[in-house]
């Protein structure tokens, strides 16, 4: 199963420990996480089910290529990391 981890910053707002889920794409893995933690969806996805601008998702160390469909393939041993992107200068 793929492992999905979230930035510790989200822990200030809700419980989001790392979780292992089945899935073949980033979207399917996240949907399984949201099924057990629905409040997390609003922090990660916007009203169109796309990644929020301030959120980044990495699969095995690489950023997802499609922030709208989230159809990047994952494998059973993939590691997904969801974090808050930083901006500024």
- All domains of the chain in start order, with CATH: 2-84 (3.10.20.30)
Rounded-to-integer distance, Cα 34 and Cα 44, Å: 10
Judge contact between 6 and 16, C-beta under 8 A. Answer: yes
Tell me how many degrees the CA angle 76-78-81 measures, rounded to the nearest 5.
Answer: 140
What pLDDT score was predicted for residue 85?
72
pLDDT band at 18 (very low <50, low <70, confident <90, very high): very high
CA atoms within 13 A on the CB side of 55: 23
Residue-level pLDDT at 52: 95
Q: How confident is the model at residue 84 (pLDDT cuts 50, 70, 90)?
A: confident
pLDDT, mean of residues 66-73: 96
Average pLDDT score over residue span 44-73: 96
Average pLDDT, the chain: 93
Q: What local confidence, expressed as pLDDT, does residue 59 receive?
A: 98
Neighbours of 61 (CB within 10 A): 7
Distance between CA 73 and CA 11 in Å, rounded? 27
Q: What angle do CA 58, 62, 67 make, to 5 degrees?
A: 55
Assess whether pLDDT exceeds 60 at residue 89.
Answer: no
């Amino acid at each position: 199963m793929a492992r999905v981890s979230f930035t510790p910053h989200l822990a200030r707002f809700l419980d989001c420990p790392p979780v292992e889920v089945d899935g073949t794409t980033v979207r399917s893995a996240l949907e399984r996480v949201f099924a057990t933690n629905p409040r997390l969806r609003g922090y990660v996805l916007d009203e169109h089910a796309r990644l929020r601008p301030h959120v980044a998702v990495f699969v095995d160390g690489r950023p997802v290529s499609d922030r709208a469909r989230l159809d990047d393939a994952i494998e059973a041993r993939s590691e997904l990391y969801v974090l808050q992107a930083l901006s500024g200068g």
